[in-house]
Chain A
């Protein structure tokens, strides 16, 4: 069951620009997480936002969560070439943590 859907599927920007990716989901969640994947390698956790939080920051990352709209966004400010990767949102459906469901991802390309 595909819970999260990222938008856009692909994004190309120049270094220094901001990148915004969106995630929509279908059912109620315990939290929402964003992960990054470099070219077929393992996923790396970026940030977790709980269902009772609206915004969270980590370095150049800003995540928002709107549970009424069942959506989240990931903003990467001042993008660098090294940010080129695929970004996935994952929804944690229960407090037990047994159902971490991933979307299909957004592929970000940052050119210098």
Chain B
């Protein structure tokens, strides 16, 4: 089954404790991206990757890091989480070239206390 898998689904952590949210896709998509969703603000892009070892900032990259060492994986790293990073996070992937649909993971609800 074609899917984007995120882990964990839910996470409560404390300020400053490094964490990683994993994302994996099995569709051989070139493009992967991370979004955060906040009430009243919709989805905002954090980082995206056009292919292995190629990443770039989205609209809200501060406080986040990503890596793309393999085509299927695109982890989101919070080196020192803060309460304003409490949000619902989504990973998405799509084929290269535009005019293609994005496939989303089920989301990771992160709470930073």
Q: Which residues of A contact B (CB under 8 A)?
A: 1-2, 30-31, 33, 35, 40-45, 48, 50, 88, 90, 92, 94-105
Check B99–A45 contact: CB distance below 8 A: no
Residues of chain A lying within 8 A (CB to CB) of residue B40: 104
Residues of chain B lying within 8 A (CB to CB) of residue A35: 102, 104
| A–B pairs, 13, beta carbons within 8 Å | A30-B98, A33-B101, A40-B109, A42-B4, A42-B106, A45-B101, A48-B100, A94-B98, A97-B96, A100-B33, A100-B92, A102-B42, A104-B41
Residues of chain A lying within 8 A (CB to CB) of residue B41: 104
SS class of chain B's interface: helix, strand, loop or mixed?
strand
Given A42-B90, A88-B42, A104-B42, residue A98 in contact with residue B101 (CB < 8 A): no
Check A98–B104 contact: CB distance below 8 A: no
A103 (CB) vs chain B CBs: closest residue = B42
Residues of chain B lying within 8 A (CB to CB) of residue A97: 31, 94-100
Count residues of chain B with CB under 8 A from any CB of chain A.
32
Give the residue of A42, A45, A92, A102 whose beta carbon is less than 8 angstroms from that of B98: A92
Q: Which residues of B contact A (CB under 8 A)?
A: 4, 31, 33, 35, 40-45, 48, 50, 56, 59, 88, 90, 92, 94-107, 109
Residues of chain A lying within 8 A (CB to CB) of residue B59: 1
Can you add 20 more A-B contacts, CB < 8 Å, to A30-B98, A95-B98?
A31-B99, A33-B101, A40-B88, A40-B107, A41-B106, A42-B90, A42-B105, A43-B90, A48-B100, A48-B101, A90-B102, A95-B97, A98-B31, A99-B45, A100-B45, A100-B92, A102-B35, A102-B44, A104-B40, A104-B41
Check B97–A45 contact: CB distance below 8 A: no
B100 (CB) vs chain A CBs: closest residue = A97
